[in-house]
Amino acid sequence: MEQFVSADTLRERFSQAMSVMYQQEVPQYGTLLKLVAQVNQQVLAQDRALAERLTAADDLARLSVERHGAIRVGSAQELNTLRQLFAIMGMYPVGYYDLAPAGVPVHSTAFRPLEGDALRRNPFRLFTSLLRLELITEGALRQKAASILAARQIFTPRCLTLIAQHQRQGGLNEQQADEFVREALETFRWHRQTTVDRATYDALHQQHRLIADVVCFPGCHINHLTPRTLDIDRVQALMPQHGITPKAIIEGPPRRCVPILLRQTSFKALEEAVNFRDGSAGCHTARFGEIEQRGVALTPAGRERYDRLLAQAGGGADNQQHQQALAAAFSAFPDSEQALRQQRLAWFEYRLTEQGRRQGISPHADCETLIAQGLLAAEPQVYEDFLPVSAAGIFQSNLGAGARETFSAGAGRAEFEAALGAPVTDEMALYAARQAESLRRCGLSDR
C-alpha cells in the first residue's frame, strides 16, 4: 500500500510555504517577525521559569512558527471548497463569528486542528470570512459583485484534481503532497492585477472597503499572518522604532498574572500599487501583520464575565489609557489558577502526579484537595479560538476612519453553515471534552 503524508505534515509544510511567500510579498511582515523573535529571546533570557516550561512542553522550537492567518471569500462555493482543502491539512471549521453587528459585513469561522496532539505539532489556523453580499444595499451593484464572483475560479485546476484524488484514495503520497502545497498556495497569492475596471473598483470600495478587497481580485490573498509573542506590550511599544505603525490599541483582555483568552495587535495595512483592467493604476490597502499572545480558555461562565467586563471598561483614547481602563475593570476577574478552577471560570487539563499514580486516589475526591496533597496537577488549556470584538477591532483598524455603519442580519449561522456545507464545531464542547477526558484518565468522575 502507498504511504500517505500525514495531515499534520501537510499543514506544517503549507504554513511554512505561506510564511515564506508572505515575507516576500510584504517585507514589513519580515521586519515584524524579527522584532518578535528579538523580544521573545529577551523575555526568555529574563524569565528562566518560562524558558524551562516552554522547553519541557517542547514548545521552544515552535515558538517562532505562525499561529494564524486570515482570508476573506466571496461565495458559498469558494467557502465550501476551502473546507475540503483545509480538511486535507487537518483543519476543520470551529466557531461561528458574526461581525455584522460590529460594522463588518462578514461572518467567519476558524479552520484549525481539533486535537491536542495536532495543535502541539503545528497549531496553524485560518480565520476565514465570508462576505455578506446581501448587505450591499444597492441592487445593481450587488448583482454586479455577485456576477464577478461567480465568474472567478480561485483554485487552480490541479488543486481541485488533488482534492478529489485525496477524497478518493484517502491521502496523498509524497509527490502529490508537494504538488498539493504548491498548488494550494496559489489561491492565497497576492495579485497586483485586479479583475475589474477602475469605476467598478471605486463603486464597490465606496460601499465598503472590504467588498472591493474580496470582489476585485482573482484570488483570496492572505491578508495577514500572526506569530506568537511572549510579551505583546513590549512589541507594541517597540514597533515605531522599527518603522512599523501599530494599530492604536491592543485588543482583548489586559495583561494578567494568569493570561486569559487572546491578546492581539497588528500594524496598519499597507498601501499597495494595483493595476485596473482599463489600464489605469491605483492602490489598495488590505494587507498587514499581526501578533498574538494566548492564555487560558474560559468556560461559558468565564466568557460571560469577560464579555461583561470588556463592555464595562469601554475604550481609552490611546493604548495606555485603554489598558488602564481594562485593568481596572478586570480587577473583578479572579487572577490565580486556583480561583479560576474553583469558580469554574476556565478550562484545565488534569493529570496524576508521580505520587498520585503510586498512591492512587479515590474517584470522588475533591480536585483542589488532591492538588494540595500533590497527587493531582492541573494545566490551563490554551484558548485556541478567536474573539469577535477583537476581530472586529483588527478589521476596523484597517478600514480607515470612515463611518461605522452597523449591519443587522438574522439567521447568520444557519446561512453560513449552508454555504460551508457542514456545521461548525462548537469550541466550548472541545474544551469541555478535553477537561472531562483528562479527569476520566485520572480515574476521577467529571464534575
Between 226 and 265, CB nearer to Ni ion: 226
Contacted by 244, from Ni ion, ligand OOG, none: CB < 5 to 8 Å by type: none
Of 152-160, 322-330, 368-376, 385-393: span binding ligand OOG (CB under 6 A): 385-393
Count of residues in contact with Ni ion, rule CB under 5 A: 3
Q: Which of 75, 122, 129, 195 binds ligand OOG (CB under 6 A)?
A: 129
3-state secondary structure 282-338: EEEECCCCEEEEECECECHHHHHHHHHHHHHHCCCCCHHHHHHHHHHHHHHCCCCHH
Q: Which is nearer to ligand OOG, 104 or 444 (CB)?
A: 104
274 binds ligand OOG (CB under 6 A): no
Q: Report the b/e string of 150-185 with b at 16+ CB within 10 A.
A: eeeebbbeebeebbeebeeeebbeeebbebbbbbbb
Judged by CB under 6 A, the chain residues 143 through 202 that form the site for ligand OOG are: none
Of 66, 290, 349, 384, the one binding Ni ion (CB under 5 A) is 290
Q: Does 438 bind ligand OOG (CB under 6 A)?
A: no
Which of ligand OOG, Ni ion, none sits in contact with 386, Cβ below 5 to 8 A by type?
Answer: ligand OOG
The answer to the question of residue 133 lying near ligand OOG (CB under 6 A) is no
The identity of residue 156, as a single letter, is T
Whole-angstrom distance, CA of residue 254 vs CA of residue 135: 34
**How far apart, in whole angstroms, are the C-alpha atoms of residue 288 and residue 272?**
11
Q: Which does 395 bind (CB under 5 to 8 A by kind): ligand OOG, Ni ion, none?
A: ligand OOG
Long-range contacts of 34-42 (CB under 8 A, 24+ apart): 35/235, 35/238, 35/239, 35/242, 35/244, 36/64, 36/227, 36/228, 36/229, 36/235, 36/291, 37/64, 39/229, 39/230, 39/231, 39/234, 39/235, 39/238, 40/64, 40/229, 40/230, 40/231, 42/231, 42/234
| Window contacting ligand OOG (CB under 6 A); options: 43-51, 159-167, 172-180, 391-399 | 391-399
Q: Which residue's CB is nearer to ligand OOG, number 370 or number 420?
A: 420
**Amino acid letter for position 215:** V
Q: At 151, phi and psi to the nearest 5?
A: -85, -10
CA distance linking residue 216 with residue 200, whole number of Å? 8
Contacts with ligand OOG by CB under 6 A: the residue count is 11
Which residues, in sequence order, are bridge partners of residue 260?
296
Write b or e for each residue in 400-410: b if 16 or more Cβ atoms lie within 10 A of its Cβ, otherwise e: eeeeeeebeee
One of 33, 391, 424, 439 touching ligand OOG (CB under 6 A): 391
Cβ distance to ligand OOG smaller for residue 127 or 348? 127
Q: Dihedrals φ, ψ of 379, to 5°?
A: -115, 130
Q: Which of 109, 122, 293, 390 binds ligand OOG (CB under 6 A)?
A: 390
Please state whether beta strands 262-266 and 271-275 pair in parallel, antiparallel, or not at all (unpaired): unpaired
C-beta of 166: minimal distance to Ni ion in Å?
A: 27
**Which range in 180-188, 271-279, 373-381, 384-392 contacts ligand OOG by CB under 6 A?**
384-392
- The residue among 196 and 244 lying less far from Ni ion, judged by its C-beta, is 244
Q: What does the per-residue mask of binding to ligand OOG show for 221-260, with x meaning CB under 6 A?
A: --x-------------------------------------
Q: Which residue stretch of 116-124, 186-194, 218-226, 330-338 sits at the interface with Ni ion (rule: CB under 5 A)?
A: 218-226
Residues lying near Ni ion in the complex (CB under 5 A): 70, 226, 290
Interface contacts to ligand OOG, rule CB under 6 A: 70, 72, 127, 129, 223, 264, 386, 390-391, 394-395
